[in-house]
Amino acid sequence: MNKRVSQRLCCVIALLFWGAYAIALMTGHHILANTFSPISAFLVGCSMIIFSRSLKKYGLTVVLGSLSVFFWVLGDIFFFINNDSPFGTPFTGYIAELLYKGTTIVMVVGLIAYVWTTFRNKAVIRLFSDAFLFSVSTILIATSVFTYFTKVSLKYTNFKLEHFVFTMFSMVIIILTMMIFVERGLNSLSWAGVIMIISLIMYGFLDIRYSLLDAEGISAISPELDIFFLLSLNLLGVAFACTTEEKLEAKDTSHQSGKIGVIIDLCIMAVGFVMHLYGIVNEGRFFTLLITTVAYLLLIRIIDANELSQQYLAEKEAEKELLESKMISQKEELQEVTEKLANISNLDLLTGLRNRRGWDLYCEELRRGGISGRIMMYSVDINYFKIINDTYGHAAGDAVLIEVGKRLASIEEDFIHSFRIAGDQFLVVVIDPNEEIRPDRFADFLIDLFDRSFDIESEYIKVTFSIGGAIYPKDTNNLEKLLSYAESARYTIKHTGSASSCTFFDNSIMPKIQRKKVLEQKLQVVNYDEQFELYYQPQVKAKSGELIGMEALLRWKEPEFGFVSPMEFIPIAEEMGIMLDMGNWITKQATRQIVQWNTTYHKNLVVGINVSPAQLRDIKFVDKFLDIMRASKVDTNWVDVEITESMALNGIMNNAEIISRIQNAGLTMSVDDFGTGYASFANMISFHFDRIKIAKELVDEIVENRNARVVVKAITGMAKDMGLHTIAEGVEDKEQLDVLVELGCEQIQGYYFDKPLPADTFEKRWL
């Protein structure tokens, strides 16, 4: 049988015994009644003990409840012994009375245990104010009722301390029951709760009556009321049989307990008033009750206000805490994002290398760690990067940068660090504490690294690099300066060579840079017509020396610097992006000149116009060039376009369209400086050039160096096979001329015949 069933069974049997007891008592069967009474109470106690075993929190309360009932059982037994057995003595009577009082005392302890477990966290002031109201009103009303019904006016003259104490215990049962009722609130009131309140209050009032009579020395035994005494205990058992631990638990009802307190307060007032009207409560007591209830009302108001403000404060506090925790988490998030951002901001998103900021931080790290030994810094720049961008599009430009980044990342070591400092500028730093690495060897290593062609969008682009190196602490012991020195060194060779090259900083570089900067400023504002002039160098047939044409060569007569070599200012103009303008001016001058000469002297001379890669790579170049030709009404057979053979050029050579458009317009094309750079015979085949200009470097060697002769022979032979003309550049003496004629070179240009001459001198001498 489970606990619940046995608990309820005990209750039911207890009630039956109570019924039997009541009948026996009313019918005067006292012995029977006195036998049934302890049995009924015992069963109630048992039912509560059974119940208590299934409880956790309220176990003690219920055990105390059952204990109080068992005191009753014992009281009953001694009562029986005293009245209905031959063993009755005044002592047994006294013991019986004490045991009955034990019921009251333990019941009070049980109630206190309940209040303690349930309301210990509640506002103490509220509990006290409730206790105050209920104590005063209970004492006043209970004593009034007592006097009214028993007709015993309380004199308290025979009261001893124990009487006061026991009377107080009886009253405390009612007081605590009321307090529990108020504190739990109406909402949590169940049937079990109602029964429990009724049973306790019933017990309380009967006990008060008993205690007071006893204190006044009057026998309190009354069979009718004794029935209710036992009934109240039975009801307590029933109440526990109907309840559960959850129901015993009071929900948080502090906000409404005040309201119930006020209702009860008013009820007490009303009851007191009615009782006063009927003369149950005398004037003095009524006024005491009135003052108490008013005081209670005021107190409750204050408590409510206080609780509200505390609640408000608690809410505010909770809000604040929530806000603070939100703020903390937001701060953490922010920090995380900031760190991420800092990381990202140190990295170049395109290449994955560290950027300028990353370099600054690295510098800082180096400085903090203390630098020992040597640091080599290489500033790397892609030649004609702008042109690569313009020709192949930005995606291709990016792809080149990514590839450079990959190659640099592939050589990254503890002692080699790479950065992308700006657009197409990279920086390689080599830490060499024991000075084991040769700076020039490392430069060669870098050039080799970049020298493989770039496979971008399935086109092989040849990209060349300018590298400037500077060495710590030889050049400077300031890291920022070191970078600027490496950049300066690079600046001096930018666009000057046809292949990737590296130069190191030395003290002679600074004046060069200074001069370059000044020239740049001057070129920015120069008036071509005033300071620029075309010189013409004759080109002749090798065998006969007959004039076939001339190469137009630009001269800049700068007021401050005098003649500035095109070798010096043309790379600057290219870098500045003004080469197209300058080229147009040159084309205009040269075509006008050839038209004038050919028409005046009835000739078919051909003027060679140098076109730099920077011009050729500009999409608008061909259109503009042809426009100018049309404007000067030049016969296209009179113009030859000289294209510099350089590595950078290889890239555009893929762009066959430009070449074919020039040739379709009727112009011829020559490859300049052939044999020095990278232009290969393969290029000659894919693009149908008309003439090969054998580089001066080869011509210089041709007399003394057999290899040079072999190369020139191969070039002329191949050119002949392909139907191309050949012209040797920089021929300075008869010996060179003879060798060239022997090797099959068709045309000659060089000081041997004449230097580049101003137009009028050329005209005088050659036409």
User: Which CB sits closer to ligand C2E, 239 or 554?
Assistant: 554
Per CB under 5 A, the segment of 162-170, 195-203, 668-676, 682-690 that binds Ca ion is: 668-676
Nearest distance from C-beta of residue 412 to Ca ion, angstroms: 42
Regarding beta strands 747-749 and 725-728, do their DSSP bridges make them parallel or antiparallel, or are they unpaired? parallel
Residues with Cβ within 8 Å of residue 753, at least 6 apart in sequence: 538, 540, 545, 731
**Among residue numbers 584 through 643, which ones bind Ca ion (CB under 5 A)?**
610, 642
User: How far, CA to CA in Å, does 127 sit from each of 130, 134, 309, 357, 643?
Assistant: 5, 10, 19, 69, 107
Nearest distance from C-beta of residue 702 to ligand C2E, angstroms: 12
User: Which CB sits closer to ligand C2E, 701 or 732?
Assistant: 732
Nearest distance from C-beta of residue 450 to ligand C2E, angstroms: 24
Nearest distance from C-beta of residue 361 to Ca ion, angstroms: 48
Nearest distance from C-beta of residue 621 to Ca ion, angstroms: 17
Q: Is 672 in the site for Ca ion (CB under 5 A)?
A: yes
User: Which CB sits closer to ligand C2E, 193 or 677?
Assistant: 677
Question: Which listed option, ligand C2E, Ca ion, none, makes contact with residue 705 (CB within 5 to 8 Å by class)?
Answer: none
User: Which CB sits closer to ligand C2E, 10 or 570?
Assistant: 570
b/e map 192-208, b = 16+ CB within 10 Å: bbebbbbbbbbbbbbbb
Question: Which listed option, ligand C2E, Ca ion, none, makes contact with residue 22 (CB within 5 to 8 Å by class)?
Answer: none
Per CB under 5 A, the segment of 292-300, 415-423, 440-448, 666-674 that binds Ca ion is: 666-674
Rounded to an integer, what distance in angstroms lies between the CA atom of residue 507 and that of residue 494?
Answer: 18
User: Which CB sits closer to ligand C2E, 516 or 696?
Assistant: 696
Question: Which listed option, Ca ion, ligand C2E, none, makes contact with residue 750 (CB within 5 to 8 Å by class)?
Answer: ligand C2E
Rounded to an integer, what distance in angstroms lies between the CA atom of residue 731 and that of residue 701?
Answer: 11
Question: Which listed option, Ca ion, ligand C2E, none, makes contact with residue 469 (CB within 5 to 8 Å by class)?
Answer: none
Nearest distance from C-beta of residue 374 to ligand C2E, angstroms: 38
Helices (H), 542-677: 566-576, 579-601, 613-616, 621-631, 647-653, 656-664
Question: Which listed option, Ca ion, ligand C2E, none, makes contact with residue 567 (CB within 5 to 8 Å by class)?
Answer: ligand C2E
Nearest distance from C-beta of residue 730 to ligand C2E, angstroms: 4
User: Which CB sits closer to Ca ion, 645 or 672?
Assistant: 672
Is there a contact between 462 and 648 (Cβ–Cβ < 8 Å)?
yes
Per CB under 5 A, the segment of 127-135, 400-408, 555-563, 671-679 that binds Ca ion is: 671-679
User: How far, CA to CA in Å, does 209 sit from each of 137, 152, 203, 437, 466?
Assistant: 16, 10, 10, 113, 116
Per CB under 5 A, the segment of 201-209, 571-579, 665-673, 754-762 that binds Ca ion is: 665-673
Nearest distance from C-beta of residue 526 to Ca ion, angstroms: 22
User: How far, CA to CA in Å, does 119 sit from each of 100, 197, 249?
Assistant: 28, 17, 10
| Nearest alpha-carbon partner for 230 in 371, 33, 58 | 33
Per CB under 5 A, the segment of 278-286, 432-440, 664-672, 701-709 that binds Ca ion is: 664-672
User: Which CB sits closer to ligand C2E, 54 or 496?
Assistant: 496
Nearest distance from C-beta of residue 559 to ligand C2E, angstroms: 20
Is there a contact between 387 and 617 (Cβ–Cβ < 8 Å)?
yes
Nearest distance from C-beta of residue 750 to ligand C2E, angstroms: 3
- Angle formed at CA 286 by CA 280 and CA 287, multiple of 5 degrees: 160
Q: Give residue 764's identity as a one-letter amino acid code.
A: K
User: Which CB sits closer to ligand C2E, 202 or 653?
Assistant: 653
- SS3 state of residue 758: strand
Nearest distance from C-beta of residue 610 to Ca ion, angstroms: 5
User: Which CB sits closer to ligand C2E, 316 or 755?
Assistant: 755
User: Which CB sits closer to Ca ion, 403 or 754?
Assistant: 754
416 alpha-carbon distance from chain centroid: 32
Rounded to an integer, what distance in angstroms lies between the CA atom of residue 93 and that of residue 96?
Answer: 5
User: How far, CA to CA in Å, does 100 sit from each of 109, 139, 143, 654?
Assistant: 15, 21, 21, 119
Residues with Cβ within 8 Å of residue 46, at least 6 apart in sequence: 10, 66
Rounded to an integer, what distance in angstroms lies between the CA atom of residue 707 and that of residue 735?
Answer: 17
Rounded to an integer, what distance in angstroms lies between the CA atom of residue 48 and that of residue 240?
Answer: 7
- SS3 state of residue 694: strand
User: Which CB sits closer to ligand C2E, 162 or 733?
Assistant: 733
Question: Which listed option, Ca ion, ligand C2E, none, makes contact with residue 486 (CB within 5 to 8 Å by class)?
Answer: none
Question: Which listed option, ligand C2E, Ca ion, none, makes contact with residue 183 (CB within 5 to 8 Å by class)?
Answer: none
Q: Which residues bind ligand C2E (CB under 6 A)?
A: 537, 552-554, 565-567, 570, 586, 610-612, 644, 672-673, 696, 729-732, 750-751, 756
Question: Which listed option, Ca ion, ligand C2E, none, makes contact with residue 553 (CB within 5 to 8 Å by class)?
Answer: ligand C2E
| Nearest alpha-carbon partner for 575 in 657, 655, 466 | 466
Length of the chain equals 767
Nearest distance from C-beta of residue 607 to ligand C2E, angstroms: 11
User: Which CB sits closer to ligand C2E, 469 or 756?
Assistant: 756
Contacts 24+ apart (CB under 8 A), 717-720: 717/744, 718/681, 718/684, 719/684, 719/692, 720/744
Q: Which residues bind Ca ion (CB under 5 A)?
A: 610, 642, 672
